[in-house]
Structure 1
Amino acid sequence: MSKLDVRAVIAKRIAQELEEGQVVNLGIGIPTLVTSFMEGKEVYLQSENGLLGMGPPPTEDQVDADLISAGKESITISSGASFFDSADSFAMIRGGHIDVAVLGILQVNTMGEIANWAVPGQPILGVGGAMDLVVGAKKVIGAATLFTKDGEPKVVKDLSYPTSGIRQIELLVTEYAVFAFENGEVIVKEIIGDLSFEELQERLSIPLRNEAISLINM
């Protein structure tokens, strides 16, 4: 499976979690792909640089240099979209008005605490809205490939990257499985890819609880 296909599998599964009428913030990276899998579902997408009503990715002839996401990617807007300044945008986030935040992650520990804004030894561009979204959103879904380019798992016992906040995320969606976190346990809710529960257990090297009821055909 190509890198793009892997990212699409994750984004498509996350889109299934979103409900009609929700206000949803999509982080940079894999989360931005979720807009391609909404399938007519009316969800209000917020971009923290000051937009409520983000649409799907533009075609070549729809690209407008003035319309970009917080990740500086070209976007479209939906009918009735609203524009506002960054202060109002963060007031929405900090005030608890975001139903779901979908965030790319670098690591998540067994308590569901994530790291997603800095890699030790590499330049830091800034925290962005990561910490505000972790604290302010009613539900947080992590989006990530399960392993790094070097094959290291991103689900770990203890974070080695700087934390984004002590709040526990509700779900982590990867190309192999969907995970939940409860009282220090990592729960496999669904098997998506071609690794069995036993293989996931072996490769992650942390205790897992199996609640996967079926193989999901993506």
Structure 2
Amino acid sequence: MTQPPPINKDQAPGTDAAESEGFLSCQPGRRGRPSVAEAEQLYGKILEASWQVLLDTGLDTFTFDRVARHAHIGKATIYSRFAGKRELLEALVQHGIWKRRAAISAIDSSRSLAETFRTRAVETLELLHSPDGKLMERLIDWLDTEAGSPQGGYRATVYRTAVDTIRGHFEQAQQRGDIVIGDCESAARFWLEGILGHYKMASSEVGQDRAQHMRWADRYVSFFFAGVRQQGTPGSPLG
């Protein structure tokens, strides 16, 4: 692993040139250890710069030097928070997973259950087909194949997180009396498998756009919830 460059002994311990010149402070030239808020802000700044560098140049040419130049900080600042490329990319994926889940879950649920899930399906497909979504998929693949992620890999973690979130939405809907679902876990898995299957197939087609996603989501929601209602009917062969 590439080692961080030596720190100039004239600088304060734990800082690099960028920090000592006041990049972490609202007051130019201020020296010393950054506050918790400043440290969190810098952490986010590194992640944002890393993501933009990846979008601009790709994973194969991704380096801490490029991130440092983009964020206008010293490379040693990045090394003080991430031991290497893998650790930084892991942080990016974890942050991306959280953002995905928050964005989809935040979609207005005051409408009918079917309409809420229809909108969430469209937004999920929009995200997966976006440059950000494609980059996230690339990072997950890299971590699972080239970095050798432990415990089943990040792909499994992403799917498990999504299933848990969807299952939670179904359980809440069932508690409100909006629907009867015999097995919320299986329903959540089927929902996710349908969306991911469509995404894989649609990725090979030209001209994917929101209108196409909405048409597919209309059909998918109709079929899915018809099956769920049938499953929840007492005495049905699926119950």
Fold match by TM threshold 0.5: no
TM-score relative to the length of structure 1: 0.26
Q: Which has the higher strand share?
A: 1
Q: Bigger radius of gyration, 1 or 2?
A: 2
Q: Which has the higher helix share?
A: 2
TM-score relative to the length of structure 2: 0.24
